[in-house]
């Protein structure tokens, strides 16, 4: 039989698909990445206003693939995370916060490693796309929309809307939370919309943030202040969906006042820096991550609430685990698209990501309300965790994605 054109076709060249191509090419697999987007637009400032909290275990993957050097100058280290049940009372209250809080201090983990880094998605995307452009083993096909895929005994044929057909041994669905590949493979999902959207904006402030990430749990949802380079912070302001359009339509002065009311004054005067975006929030968990010649990665497998900044980190772990599984299988001569091989990926990743996904859902339900008995229970819980160092360390390792069986690209150096 003739060899397929590529060993792996990746549908979706977003943050998950792009990283998957680079991780797999580094392990010697020939890859094609297909994306419906225009590469020029995908690289532009206006394409994605979000930042991503890259956990320290995910950062190891970028480092091992030689991608961290161009990211590092734009990455702000998270030294502390302060989680507070309630808000900074007002801009005049010198950082007054509820007495119920949790403090995660990276120095408690006994090394110099921060809890993670905040990086603009624009930077991550450009670094991935530059590396893909330079790779001999990756063909980036964009703009090109996948129309259909045939899964056959010996290979899969991915057809594009422009009539091209690409043959491969394995197809990766990295086509996001509305994954067409997942639907076509008849993989069911558990999914629901949150009655919330995430308003994302950047603010410049008078005082340095000292690498402290803050999360205020307000009745409409979490309000996160994430430290960025150049004395800026990124806001992820979760708000009731029915109120978001009105906030998005405010003029700059009124928008700043709304931010100040939630932000408080602990960083001095603040000024919105750049446009605002809003993202509807939803939960999607695929009931299977695999089908013959198909594996789901990133948001195609699990799209979760941003409350804990873990969505992309889960995707990075998928990619690193899949790379190990495929290398081991290839080395013993197995077909990388076979279900036997892909089941190893599913066993490794599905339980781990499903538990984290459901944990973030629970956290959001527990905290996004003003129901008095729940407030008491969660405040007692926060107090207990804050008082017990091993528990604090456990949560820090969880946030750093440094628990469980880590794939070789993610494991700590010995």
Ligand X SMILES: Cc1cc2nc3c(=O)[nH]c(=O)nc-3n(C[C@H](O)[C@H](O)[C@H](O)COP(=O)(O)OP(=O)(O)OC[C@H]3O[C@@H](n4cnc5c(N)ncnc54)[C@H](O)[C@@H]3O)c2cc1C
- Whole-angstrom CA distances from 214 to 91, 96, 159, 220, 309 are 16, 13, 46, 16, 12
Kindly state the smallest distance separating residue 157's Cβ from ligand X, in Å. Answer: 15
Nearer to ligand X, 91 or 166 (CB): 166
Nearer to ligand X, 48 or 324 (CB): 48
CA distance 387 to 118: 27
Nearer to ligand X, 80 or 299 (CB): 299
Query: Can you tell me which residue has the tokens 């491969």?
Result: 168
Kindly state the smallest distance separating residue 280's Cβ from ligand X, in Å. Answer: 8
Nearer to ligand X, 32 or 342 (CB): 32
Kindly state the smallest distance separating residue 310's Cβ from ligand X, in Å. Answer: 5
Nearer to ligand X, 14 or 86 (CB): 14
CA distance 141 to 12: 10
Nearer to ligand X, 255 or 279 (CB): 279
Binding-site ranges for ligand X (CB under 6 A): 11-17, 34-37, 50, 52-53, 145-146, 174-176, 180, 198, 200, 236, 279, 298-299, 306, 309-313, 315
Kindly state the smallest distance separating residue 196's Cβ from ligand X, in Å. Answer: 10
Name 139's bridge partners. Answer: 32
Kindly state the smallest distance separating residue 189's Cβ from ligand X, in Å. Answer: 14
Q: Within a 10 A sphere around the Cβ of 254, how many other Cβ atoms?
A: 11
Kindly state the smallest distance separating residue 378's Cβ from ligand X, in Å. Answer: 22
Q: In the numeric block, which tokens belong to residue 11? A: 């549908």
DSSP 306: G
Kindly state the smallest distance separating residue 120's Cβ from ligand X, in Å. Answer: 11
Kindly state the smallest distance separating residue 148's Cβ from ligand X, in Å. Answer: 10
Nearer to ligand X, 7 or 215 (CB): 215
Contact 174, 297 (CB under 8 A): yes
Contact 233, 214 (CB under 8 A): no
Nearer to ligand X, 12 or 375 (CB): 12
How deeply is 35 buried, as exposed, middle or buried, from its count of CB atoms within 10 A (0-12, 13-18, 19+)? buried
Name 227's bridge partners. Answer: 233
Backbone angles phi, psi at 386, to 5 degrees: -65, -30
- Whole-angstrom CA distances from 152 to 148, 169, 173 are 13, 9, 17
CA distance 84 to 211: 17
Contact 359, 76 (CB under 8 A): no
Nearest to 145 by CA among 165, 167, 161: 161
Query: Can you tell me which residue has the tokens 């990926």?
Result: 345
């Amino acid at each position: 039989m003739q060899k397929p054109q590529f060993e792996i076709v990746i549908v979706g060249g977003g943050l998950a698909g792009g990283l998957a191509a680079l991780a797999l090419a580094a392990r010697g697999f020939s890859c094609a990445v297909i994306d419906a987007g225009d590469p020029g637009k995908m690289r532009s400032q206006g394409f994605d206003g979000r930042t991503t909290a890259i956990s320290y275990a995910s950062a190891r993957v970028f480092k091992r693939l030689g991608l961290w050097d161009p990211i590092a100058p734009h990455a702000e280290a998270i030294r502390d995370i302060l989680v507070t049940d309630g808000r900074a009372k007002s801009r005049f209250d010198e950082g007054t916060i509820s007495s119920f809080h949790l403090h995660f201090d990276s120095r408690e983990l006994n090394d110099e490693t921060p809890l993670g880094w905040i990086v603009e998605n624009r930077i991550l995307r450009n670094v991935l796309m530059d590396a893909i452009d330079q790779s001999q083993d990756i063909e980036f096909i964009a703009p090109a929309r996948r129309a259909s895929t045939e899964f056959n005994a010996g290979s899969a044929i991915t057809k594009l809307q422009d009539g091209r057909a690409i043959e491969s041994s394995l197809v990766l669905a990295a086509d996001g939370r509305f994954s067409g590949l997942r639907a076509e493979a008849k993989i069911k999902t558990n999914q629901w919309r949150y009655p919330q959207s995430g308003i994302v904006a950047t603010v410049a402030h008078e005082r340095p943030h000292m690498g402290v990430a803050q999360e205020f749990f307000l009745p409409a949802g979490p309000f996160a202040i994430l430290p960025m380079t150049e004395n800026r912070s990124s806001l992820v302001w979760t708000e009731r969906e029915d109120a978001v359009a009105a906030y998005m339509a405010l003029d700059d002065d009124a928008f700043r006042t709304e931010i100040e009311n939630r932000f408080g004054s602990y960083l001095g005067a603040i000024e919105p820096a750049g446009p605002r975006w809003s993202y509807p929030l939803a939960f999607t968990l695929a009931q299977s991550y695999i089908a013959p010649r198909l594996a789901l990665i990133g948001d195609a497998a699990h799209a979760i609430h941003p409350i804990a900044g873990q969505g992309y980190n889960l995707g990075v772990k998928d990619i690193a685990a899949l790379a190990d599984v495929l290398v081991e299988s290839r080395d013993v001569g197995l077909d990388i698209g076979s279900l036997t091989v892909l089941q190893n990926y599913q066993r490794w990743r599905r339980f781990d990501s499903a538990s984290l996904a459901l944990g973030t859902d629970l956290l959001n339900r527990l905290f996004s309300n003003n129901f008095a008995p729940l407030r008491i229970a969660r405040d007692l819980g926060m107090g207990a965790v804050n008082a017990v160092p091993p528990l604090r360390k456990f949560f820090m390792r969880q946030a750093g994605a440094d628990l469980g069986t880590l794939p070789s690209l993610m494991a700590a150096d010995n």
